[in-house]
Amino acid sequence: MSDNLVIVESPAKAKTIEKFLGKDYLVKSSFGHIRDLVKKGFGIDFEHGYQPQYVISEDKEKIVADLRKCSKTAKTIWLASDEDREGEAIAWHLQEVLKLAPEKTRRIVFHEITRDAILNAVQHPRSVNLDLVNAQQARRVLDRLVGFELSPILWRKIKASLSAGRVQSVAVRLIVDREREVLAFSAESFFKVAGTFLVDKTPVKADVSQKFGDEKLALDLLQKCASSTFTVASIEKKPAKRTPTAPFTTSTLQQEASRKLGFSVGQTMIVAQRLYEAGYITYMRTDSVNLSEQAIAAAKDAILKIYGEKYLHTRRYTTKSKGAQEAHEAIRPSYMDKPAIEAGSQEKRLYDLIWKRTIASQMSEAALERTVVTIDVSGAAEKFVASGEVILFDGFLKVYMESQDDESDSDSAGLLPPMREGQILQASSIVATERFTQRPPRYTEATLVKKLEELGIGRPSTYAPTISTVLNRGYVLKEDREGVVREYRQHTLANGKITEKILRENTGAEKSKLFPSDVGMVVTDYLVEHFPKVMDFSFTAKVEEEFDEIAEGKVVWNKMIDDFYQLFHQKVEDALQNSQRATAERKLGVDPKTGKDVIVRIGRFGPLAQIGGAEDDEKPQYANLQKGQLIENITLEEALKLFELPRTLGSYEGKTVTVSIGRFGPYVRHDEKFASLKRNVDDPMTVTLERAVELIEEKRKQEREKVIKTFAENEELQVLNGRYGPYLACAGVNYKIPKSAEPSALTYKQCVEIMEQQAGSTPRKSRFAKKAIGTKSVITKSAAAKSAKPKSAAKKKKS
């Protein structure tokens, strides 16, 4: 055995580190946290200062046993988990569980997985930082308290299976508040006047800066222009500079990857983690924009080599966000002289973004010249203004330009032709176009992260999990939605005549935007009413600051928890006893056919419309609300349309075909079988029989092609075709098939090997691995059942 045992939290990280340490070092992985709060009850000892009650995770018992065995024979144990609070907690748990002696235990941290960084860390070890551990424990305990106390209230007061969280509920509130702003918004129309002028046959576009709220005023200006002379009144040229943005933090990387690459926040973090563990980039959870001296020197060398000296301008950025740690670095490439890497497609694209942003941050400013030309109208007081911009020296723009979130459709300024003051211009056309004020934009994942960061809610490690949680629990929907057709008027002056057109445009279309569900809105309203402090943005930010103070050793963690919990628990008791059940019930009117009330409310499976009540002789009728419909703004007419379902479309193969909406969305029913309607394509209110038949046949084809292969050795093991390609399924667990393997040619032995390799990748796979694979590589279903009996009997005997 080796004298040195190095423990990291990830097998990929272990593999990379192994390359840099010699044969005297054994590198092992803990596969993340080895223990967590017990699942039964709160897992917190209230009588002894909120001490967490930890238990080793079931799927980590073998890993812990192996680490314990290795640690006993090693002379020195190096705890090399990540440098943040979560990583520090992993190191502490390892130290506690493995009972590591302080004199033989070393804690090492590094921002990047390179030879120099690893060897430098080994030269400068430290002990586990208990302040960082306590900050992590405080977050874990507080989140458990809030979640476990609030969730049962939601079950009793709204509907079953709901949950709440300290950060997730505040994030949902942001989306709910924005949705209500959008619903309350009423667009106001105004007119913009723009002219196209000819300068030596070159068209130049110029705008009147004033907006005309009255259509008549815009027409008056066009009539004056019909008999006016247009003269260049002034030409103003100004030098301008554009400065590069700072290197990436977690938040800015998530935002830019969303805008430029179309990555979700979670996807960005997964890909960044792979890059970090492979040694390509520095640690990806950081709120610092700082670059080390070595990194700046390496960037300087790369810029001089690739672009030349005139493109070099080194800078040192400082972090403005609260709680940021300047000792940490921004996200940057580990090796600045590598503009590209050999990796998967997603990894290549994200690395390219990180490399360009980092290099650009150390490059020269871009030099521009901005030109503003003012054009007088002889018969009117209004003036036209033409703007142009030319890049004199591209500087950092040669490599990188940051994207923007704003959804305006303004044109970027181009180059203007030469003009002189006093020059008379000919107007080829002047157009007054009706425009509309823009509603507040709905959040994307990226803009939500930006807002959370601005408010000080959460930290780099929490943004992605928070968004994943609210999406997975159905409080928020991430969707594309079609816009609506809107008419607008346009008046054009050309050749001395004014003409009018009525034009159409699509407006309000949304792509990958975040919408609150009805349940999300009801839960938010209930929590804001009964737990205003928990839902307060500034309070949530203050809690984050207190975590930072715990990490700095300024605040005792369990006192901070106690200060919060005593008041919070009183609110919980009061809400349980005194608050009313929240259904968001809203009466829309009366059904003209039955004369019964039509209401919308939250039902067992979500929002629904209802005709009649429980007190009526006849059973009430129910219909699920459709996508995009909300309890808050659905009309009586829209609700009554829902009861037109199920619709009978006709007959196919002698059997009736109907369309309806179920718990999981709209579907076609035929011969007791179901086929889902395509999202964003099919509407249950208008779908035809011909389209329904297409969906039925498509479903049949999928069913025929689903099973690629089965095995006599184990009836539960199958090679199947799925939505994302072929995969293995056994005992209710799915396994990826390697890209190099041909699914139809896989043997039983090869399938078992694949399952064995992936058995420990998740707790669920570990739990079912024994059943699916058995103690040997080949096992039948009956053998698995037999082998289970002695184990359960042994457990009974032991108890």
Residues 6+ apart with CB under 8 A from 710: 717, 718, 719
The rounded distance, in Å, linking the Cα atoms of 541 and 532 is 14
| Secondary structure of 135-153 as H, E, C letters | HHHHHHHHHHHHHHHHHHH
Q: Residues 153, 154, 157, CA angle at the centre, nearest 5°? A: 80
> Using an 8 Å Cβ cutoff, are 449 and 254 in contact?
yes
DSSP characters over 603-636: ETTEEEEEES-TTSSSPPEEEEPPTT--TTT--H
> Using an 8 Å Cβ cutoff, are 759 and 769 in contact?
yes
The rounded distance, in Å, linking the Cα atoms of 202 and 212 is 28
The rounded distance, in Å, linking the Cα atoms of 8 and 29 is 5
> Using an 8 Å Cβ cutoff, are 619 and 587 in contact?
no
The rounded distance, in Å, linking the Cα atoms of 15 and 10 is 9
The rounded distance, in Å, linking the Cα atoms of 775 and 763 is 18
Phi and psi at residue 728, in whole multiples of 5°?
-95, 145
Partners of 205 in beta bridges: 196
Partners of 506 in beta bridges: 485
Q: Quick count: other Cβ atoms within 10 Å of Cβ 152?
A: 14
Residue among 431, 388, 380 nearest 231 (CA): 380
- CA distances from residue 524 to 100, 179, 224, 450, 520 in whole angstroms, order as listed: 46, 12, 55, 21, 6
Quote the tokens at residue 334: 């580990």
Quote the tokens at residue 530: 């009964």
DSSP characters over 456-491: T-S-TTTHHHHHHHHHHTTSEEEEEE--EEEEEEEE
Residues 6+ apart with CB under 8 A from 63: 29, 30, 31, 34, 760
Give the residue numbers marked as catalytic. 283
Helix spans in 211-249 (H) = 215-225
